[in-house]
Amino acid sequence: MSELKQGAARWLRGKAEPSSSLVRWMVALGLLGVAAAIGQAFCIGQILDGALGHPSHWSTPDLLAVFAVLALVRAATGFLSERAAFGTGASARRRLRTEALGGLLAAGPALLRERSSGELVATVIDRIEALDAFFARWMPASRLAILGPALVALVVLIVDPVGGLILAGAGLIVPVGMALSGLGAAKASRQQFSAMGRLQARFLDRIRGIGTIVLNGRIDDEARGLAQAADELRQRTMRVLRVAFLSATVLDLAFALALVTLALRFAARLSGGQGDPGSALFVLLLVPEFFAPLRTFSASYQDRFKALGAAEALAALPEAPLPEAPRDIRNVAAQGIAVAFENVQLTWDPARGPALDGVSFRVPAGETLVLAGPSGAGKSSVIEILLGFVPPGGGRVTLNGADLTTLVPRALSRLTAWIGQTPMLFATSIRENIRLARPEATDAQVADAVRAARLDGFVADLPEGLDTTIGEAGFGLSGGQAQRVAIARAFLKDAPLLLLDEPTAHLDPATETEVLDSLRRLAVGRTVILASHSAAAHAFSGNGFAVRRLDLREGQVVTARGVA
Amino acid sequence: MIALTRVLALWRRRAPWLVLGAVISLVALASGVALATVSGTVIAAALLGGTLAAPLWLRVLAPARVVLRYVERLVTHNAMFRALSDLRVWFFRGLAGRAAGGLGYRRSGDVLARLVGDVEALDGLYLRILLPMAGAAMLLPILLVALWRLGPGLTIGVGLLFVASAFVIPAWAARLARGGGKRVAEAGAAMRVAAVDAVSGIREVRAFGLEGSMLASVQAREAALFSAQHRQSLGVAWAGVIALLCGQAALGLLLLNVGTLAGVLAVASLFLVIAAFEAVSGLPRAGWLAGQAEVAAGRVVAAAEEPSEAGAEPLSPAAMPPGSALRFEAVRFRWQPDRPWIFDGLTLDIPQGFRVALLGPSGSGKSTLAALALRLATAQSGRVLLGGVDIATLAAGELRGRVGMLNQATHLFSDTIRANLLLANPAASDVALWAALDAAQMGEMVRGLPERLDTWVGEAGMGFSGGQGRRLALARALLSPASVLILDEPCAGLDVDTEREFLTTLNEVAGTRTIILIVHRLTGVEQLDRVWRLSGGYAVAAAA
């Protein structure tokens, strides 16, 4: 087992802790079911005893009644175990998903620099769903695999010590045999699971890129390649399974051995006039009950491997932070915000050098600063520090003199409005997409923001106006329209500090002019920091605005105008 | 059921393996039931001084069962792997056929991933559904014949309980899965959308302090999913309970009549009934899985055999024209009858070897133009001509050999750099591959990698930055023998500097090809012969 797998196993054990009481309940139910089965076997043995001409201590109707009651007990334990299994799985998934998503949201946008959003969503959704069987099936099964057979063997030992020893001996063959065939059950499950995994990964990749394959005229080649890969995988996997299936065979062998040995032993004893057929049949009927928990255990081995794979991905996510003390900052938002950077350093990736290397500037309240420079110069890093996405690696950033790092994220987000290159539109109505900037806003305030962002003309043409659903399943918005939604959000939020990160980079020139016009109106009375390539910056800072401009290159200030 | 039958029909070629597996599985099952029955009989026979044959049977059946089970596992798994491969290849070919007709072109990666999940849901069809059902079908007559000597009433009673346990309840579970499965799938999809919103929008979430409401929204959808799953699990639990009680009732029926039966027969029948009901105890779950598999099969078959929207392949395709001038002639097009016209009488001439740009805001139909030129979509009226020949009369494969495209959907496969490049031109030599990489300004970077051309490109091109991925895709496009290259927003997602570099590169490497650049704006470094602006369904010439 690799170190990664061990880490994942440790992680899973830790996460299983809160489920332990439910698991104990399922194990208790399982044991009760085994006990009921033992009782039923006893009843059957006694009734048959009578049929075979042996007088029983018990009357047949009594035995039948007990049998029927125990049948109901077994049904009830089975039903309750199923319910408990669902409950355990669901509560574990709920707990883990909240933790994972909470950690992810707390870690913030910096996480997207290392991992794709698709991968993160798959972790939070699919990986956690895949953990269900681990909590619901594997955890109780792995405990019952020992306790269930132990209970049966104990009862048989009391009734027939030699028979009990035979059963216990056969039971011990199972782990020994599994160890001899290289932990076969584990290996078989792992091999089959990873073989299927690889096949599925290749298949999914080819299906995702099917358009590229078609346009390059390579359908036949790829179909052949797919078949060939599957065939190679089958041959390789079957070679391993040939050995690995031996462990399941050990289980079959132990079962057959126990059954035959016991049957022949009892037959010999009975024909010699020793013992009674009732207890012989009782013991024989218990052989399947003895092995049933072991079979369930063996069958749920796959669940463990699926869970380990999922745990690896989940363990790599950032931990959810401890809830922050409700410590609000001094109210810095009184009359506008002054921003100051003092010798700020920031390094995303040590291999690529610093993103910001000793950047200093000041922007008085209500003024506009344009950050100019080529991509990679550090413009976005300045904005991301001010948004609190990443703490500065060195130096000091202050808002009205208060150190940025002393602000809790909530307080900081209340002070700032932000518009990036491509705004995220959530899969809900346009109204809700705008209202998220200030959830308590009235409809009238939202309508004002829509008008201020010049979104009203477009909205009027929509089938359901502001209540039109947008996003993948709904109405598509063009880049310019989406940017107007972002501007409406900023109008609604009415925050004193406005951060604009290349807001027009993906717009065509005509739309860019219109959007810049709206942004200029939004900027009135606020402190604005605009990161942009120079042409747009020029357009923005003209028109009566104070021209404060900072030219960045490779993380350093090249020229500064009006911002020292 | 039709869809499931369609999937099963695919496996006809694998019938020998599948049938062999089924036969061995049935023999193994029969030997197991016989072993249990005989072991009980041995005791009764010993007591009553019966035959000596029973112990002998035991000694034969026990090893036979162990060996048969091992062989069964090997053969059935082997058969399953073969069948899976067939299913995937068939689905791939089917979907590729639709994609060629324009459907895959508009499908999002997410929809495709969900379909792949449906294909995976069919993986258990043989091992977990068909084989257990075949076993139940075999056991029923055995049970009836064996019990007949106990009297018709008892036989019919036990038989009915067996039918209920092995067939009726699984069928009910299948129905449950069909109905509730849809609700579960919808709730799951809603939860995924909420999670996508939270994660993709994490900048907005942080900037607007939405952590709490996003988490709550995912949790609310999760709760809806759990309640849908809860109903399913409740149904499955009930199915299991009823199936168990059927078996218990059959045993009880037998025990009630035990007094009237001969000893050996009574014991043998009892052990047989226990073993038979035990063998079918997994069927309610199998039935539930079958219900899910049926729904999945329905979607898979529909996707793979959906009629193509775009124009059918001509019966006798015209010969490819020598020239590659492209002409759009009075083209009217819209994706759906209830959507507005995207092109309303578009006429456009792109002479061979010209480098042109098509500009326009998003939604103006720039990408649709590419789809029309590649016949991924067919105009409602008007014609598209290549070298003076209507492309509707050309074979799609040959047309796409002449007209290549690089767009945002261009996929980098989990494979080596070499394999990714060779996709465009399987015959290309290493020299040609390096030339293309150099032209796309990736040569230096790839030479620096320890495994050079054999470096693995991770899932969806991960391991390479966005810019490097685009340049790899460009290198592939440059390798293709196409004489018309359509570049649809080739710089989306690249920063400004990389975009300029990329476009400058393009000026140098395109050679004599026709280049059609589809972009929302020009950077000024492009060297172009003609520029059009698309708006209102027309193309307007702009300054070159």
CATH number for the domain including A143? 1.20.1560.10
- Residue B348 pLDDT exceeds 90: no
Distances (CA, A) of A110 to A346, B230, B231, B469, B478: 13, 37, 40, 21, 35
> CB contact, 8 Å: B70 with chain A?
yes
| Most confidently modeled range among A367-371, B373-377, B503-507 | A367-371
**Which of B:313-342 have CB within 8 Å of A?**
none
Whether A343 has a pLDDT exceeding 60, the answer reads: yes
User: Looking at the structure, do residues A310 and A343 belong to the same domain, yes or no?
Assistant: no
Instruction: Encode A291-327: b = buried (16+ Cβ within 10 Å), e = exposed.
Output: bbbbbbbbebbbbbbbbbbbbbbbbebeebeeeeeee
Q: Which residues contact A492 (CB under 8 A, 6 or more apart)?
A: A434, A435, A437, A438, A441, A445, A446, A448, A449
Helix (H, G, I), strand (E, B) or coil at A428: coil
**For range B105-112, the mean pLDDT:** 54
- Between these two residues, B90 and A51, which has the higher pLDDT value? B90
% of chain B surpassing 70 pLDDT: 87
Q: Residue B223: what pLDDT?
A: 95
CB contact under 8 A, A259 and B35: yes
Give the least confident one: A288-297, A407-416, B242-251, B266-275. A407-416
DSSP letter at B413 equals P
The end-to-end CA distance of chain A, in Å, is 59
Kindly state whether residue A326 falls inside one of the protein's structural domains.
no
Whether A149 is covered by a domain: the verdict is yes
**What's residue A4's pLDDT?**
60
Q: Could you read off the pLDDT of B203-214 as tens digits, one per residue? A: 888 888 888 888
CA gap B365, B230 in Å, rounded: 46
Reported as a pLDDT band with limits 50, 70 and 90, residue B170 is very high
* Same domain assignment for residues A467 and A522: yes
Token pair belonging to A376: 């990679």
Q: Express as a percent the part of chain A with pLDDT over 90.
A: 23
Which chain B residues have a beta carbon less than 8 Å from that of A298?
A: none
With a cut of 60, say whether residue B462 has pLDDT above it: no
For B163, counting Cβ atoms within 10 Å of its Cβ (0-12 exposed, 13-18 middle, 19+ buried), the class is: middle
B127 CB-near residues (< 8 Å, 6+ apart): B76, B77, B80
Domain count for chain A: 2
**Among A144, A141, A194, A187, residue whose Cα is nearest residue A306:** A194
| Residue B165 touches partner A, C-beta closer than 8 Å | no
One domain for residues A448 and A396: yes
Model pLDDT, residue B461:
46
Answer whether residue A32 is part of any domain: yes
Whether B397 has a pLDDT exceeding 50, the answer reads yes
**pLDDT interval class at A352 (50, 70, 90):** low
- pLDDT of A392: 87
d(CA A8, CA A3): 9
Strands A497-501 and A416-419: parallel
User: How many whole angstroms separate alpha carbon B357 and alpha carbon B488?
Assistant: 10
Domain of A495, in residue numbers:
339-561
Q: Note whether A299 and A324 are within 8 A (CB).
A: no
Q: What is the mean pLDDT of residues A481-490?
A: 87
Count Cβ neighbours within 10 Å for each residue of A359-377 and write b for 16 or more, e otherwise: bbbbbbbbbbbbbbbbbbb
Torsion of CA B523, B528, B534, B539, to 10 degrees: 160
| pLDDT tens-digit readout, B15-64 | 999 999 999 999 999 999 999 999 888 888 877 766 566 778 888 899 99
pLDDT higher than 70, residue B104:
no
| B465/B149: higher pLDDT | B149
Number of A to B CB contacts under 8 A, please give it.
Answer: 387
Residue B338 has a CB neighbour count (10 Å cut-off) of: 6
Q: Choose, out of B56, B78, B125, B199, the residue to mutate when testing the contact with A (most A CBs < 10 Å).
A: B199
Residues of A in Cβ contact (< 8 Å) with B203 = 109, 387, 389, 418, 420, 424
Beta bridge partners of B531: B357, B542
Q: Is B359 on the interface with A (CB under 8 A)?
A: yes
Q: Are residues A228 and A368 in the same domain?
A: no
Q: Among B155-169, B192-206, B265-279, name the most confident range.
A: B155-169
One domain for residues A396 and A309: no
- Least confident span in A383-397, B163-177, B211-225: A383-397
Taking the C-alpha atoms of residue B333 and residue B339, their distance in angstroms, rounded to an integer, is 10
Burial (CB count <10 Å: 0-12, 13-18, 19+), residue B271: buried
Is the CB of residue A88 less than 8 Å from the CB of residue A22? yes
Whether A310 is in a domain gets the answer yes
Residue among A185, A152, A161 at smallest CA distance from A251: A185
Question: Residue A107 domain-assigned?
Answer: yes
pLDDT in tens, A120-178: 887 888 889 888 989 999 999 999 999 999 999 999 999 999 999 999 999 988 887 77
pLDDT for B119 equals 79
Task: Classify residue A480: in a domain, yes or no.
Answer: yes
Same domain, A262 and A226: yes
Instruction: Specify the pLDDT at position A454.
Output: 84
pLDDT of residue A184: 56
Domains and CATH numbers, chain B: 2-305 (1.20.1560.10), 326-542 (3.40.50.300)
Percent of chain A with pLDDT over 70: 85
pLDDT digits (tens, 9 = 90+) for A26-73: 999 999 999 999 999 999 998 888 777 777 778 888 999 999 999 999
Q: Answer whether residue A324 is part of any domain.
A: no
Looking at residue B329, its pLDDT comes to 86
CB contact B412 to A (< 8 Å): yes
| pLDDT of res. B103 | 44
Question: Is it the case that residue B367 has pLDDT exceeding 80?
Answer: no
Residues A368 and A233 reside in one and the same domain = no
Same domain for A350 and A281: no
A240 and A361 co-located in one domain? no
The ipTM of this complex is: 0.83
Average pLDDT over residues A257-265: 91
Does residue A394 share a domain with residue A258? no
Residues of chain B contacting residue A196, judged by C-beta atoms under 8 Å apart: 123
Highest average pLDDT, of A185-199, B66-80, B384-398, comes from B66-80
Best CA proximity match to A502, nearest among A384, A385, A416: A384
State the DSSP code for B13: G
- Residue B542 pairs in a beta bridge with B531
Residue A351 and residue A480 share a domain: yes
Q: Determine which of B57, B150, B206, B494 to mutate to test the interface with A (most A C-beta atoms within 10 Å).
A: B206
Distance between CA atoms of residues A17 and A135, nearest Å: 11
CATH number for the domain that contains residue A351: 3.40.50.300
Residue A208 lies in a domain: yes
Average per-residue pLDDT for chain B: 82
User: Taking CB atoms and an 8 Å cutoff, what residues of chain B touch A217?
Assistant: 397, 400-401
- Residues A254, A300, single domain; the answer is yes
**Residue of A97, A206, A231 with shortest CB distance to B85:** A231
